[in-house]
Amino acid sequence: MRILVTGGAGYIGSHACVELLESGHEVIVIDNLSNSKEMSLSRVKEITGHDIKFYTLDLLDKVKLNQLFSDHSIDSVIHFAGLKSVAESIVNPLAYYRNNVSGSVNLFDVMTKHNVKNLVFSSSATVYGLTDSLPLKENCPLSAENPYGRTKIMIEEILRDLHDSDNAWNIISLRYFNPVGAHASGRIGEDPSGIPNNLLPYISQVAIGKLKQLTVYGNDYATHDGTCIRDYVHVVDLAKGHISAIEKLDSHPGLVIYNLGTGNGYSVMDMLGSFERANNIAIPYTIGPRRPGDIDASYTDPGLAMSELGWQANLGIEDFCRDAWRWQQDNPNGYE
């Protein structure tokens, strides 16, 4: 199939491109490179030995987007493009609503016009908000706590309305839990700009000496060691989930939603200890105050993705830590 990947130069998108190409799909990537480098796609070509068509294109540029759909016959779209920083979204909410919501509406509009009605959308476990109903299932109530999370809920709702208005649409929203790790080749991985917000990139930068120490945000949560629990999922497993979703679209599923996680919860201290053991390296850390907005624990029941998509995560905590560290060591300055 010919698949358009929006945001394909980014962290999850580039890993998905590898899996798509290795599964025999043809890939067209559009990205405005606001949070990525084109080099990620050169690396994807290097890993797979296959070519990718790439266009620097902003989803807000509807004229160019329309032209792209006129120039290429597209079977399905995987929509990764979006801004993803919770903190930034609180400071600059309009940028998030404009980019994520308006950009998505532009995309769905142009898809409608060109009769392309197969879509996989990157949603997030953040849509469950501050919940304590664990494990999280797809039918748990939604409540976003910040503008970023609200953009994901809004886009999911727009997609529901779109499907209600026209049953020819086949839409799969994938709610990712905490994506971590990197491709085993060490050639593609997460390349955060500035100081990382996320745990594993932060630990990796401490390990390589770019940052002095990890601050563990709170050790008085109601968990086995007092630190927060998350469902970390390897980015290559996640990428494979998109192949399962693309194949599922063939069965005309209508609108469906799947949580993608392992179902295992690990604490901050579990991750830290595992990184130290897997890579034989000591990570200096200190215990700091809680980070506003964090919840004690979040992990999924991966049963629905397993039964309906035939997808399940295969990689575990040692793989997360080993692959993140390989990527960091081989690319100390990311794609620079």
Instruction: Specify the amino acid at residue 156.
Output: E
Q: Is 77 in the site for ligand NAD (CB under 6 A)?
A: no
State the burial class of residue 39 (Cβ atoms within 10 Å of its Cβ: 0-12, 13-18, 19+): middle
Q: Is 331 in the site for ligand WQD (CB under 6 A)?
A: no
Distance separating alpha carbons of residues 147 and 175, to the nearest angstrom: 17
Residues 6+ apart with CB under 8 A from 220: 226, 290
Nearest residue to 65 (alpha-carbon basis) of 16, 95, 32, 98: 32
DSSP reduced 3-state for 118? strand
Q: Is 304 in the site for ligand NAD (CB under 6 A)?
A: no
Task: Pick one of ligand WQD, ligand NAD, none as the site partner of residue 12 (Cβ within 5 to 8 A by kind).
Answer: ligand NAD
Q: How far is the CB of 232 from ligand WQD (least distance, A)?
A: 8
Which residues, numbered 123-162, are part of the site for ligand NAD (CB under 6 A)? 124
From candidates 2, 46, 60, 164, binder to ligand NAD by CB under 6 A: 60
* Cα 99 versus chain centre, distance: 16
Nearest residue to 203 (alpha-carbon basis) of 266, 158, 212: 212
* Contacting range for ligand WQD; rule: CB under 6 A; set: 91-99, 102-110, 156-164, 213-221: 213-221
> Does 148 participate in catalysis according to the annotation?
yes
Residues 6+ apart with CB under 8 A from 302: 259, 260, 261, 262, 263, 312, 313
95 or 168: CB nearest ligand NAD: 95
Distance separating alpha carbons of residues 252 and 169, to the nearest angstrom: 8
| Residue 275 near residue 196, CB atoms below 8 Å | no
Which contiguous run of DSSP H or E holds residue 273? helix 268-279
223 or 312: CB nearest ligand WQD: 223
* Contacting range for ligand WQD; rule: CB under 6 A; set: 10-18, 65-73, 156-164, 194-202: 194-202
From candidates 4, 36, 144, 214, binder to ligand NAD by CB under 6 A: 36
From candidates 198, 219, 223, 312, binder to ligand WQD by CB under 6 A: 198
Q: Which of 11, 148, 176, 258 does the annotation list as catalytic? A: 148
Provide the binding-site residues for ligand WQD, judged by CB under 6 A.
84, 86, 124, 126, 178, 197-199, 202, 214-217, 228, 230, 268, 291, 294
- Active site residue ranges: 148
Provide the binding-site residues for ligand NAD, judged by CB under 6 A.
7, 9-13, 31-36, 58-60, 80-84, 99, 103, 122, 124, 176, 179
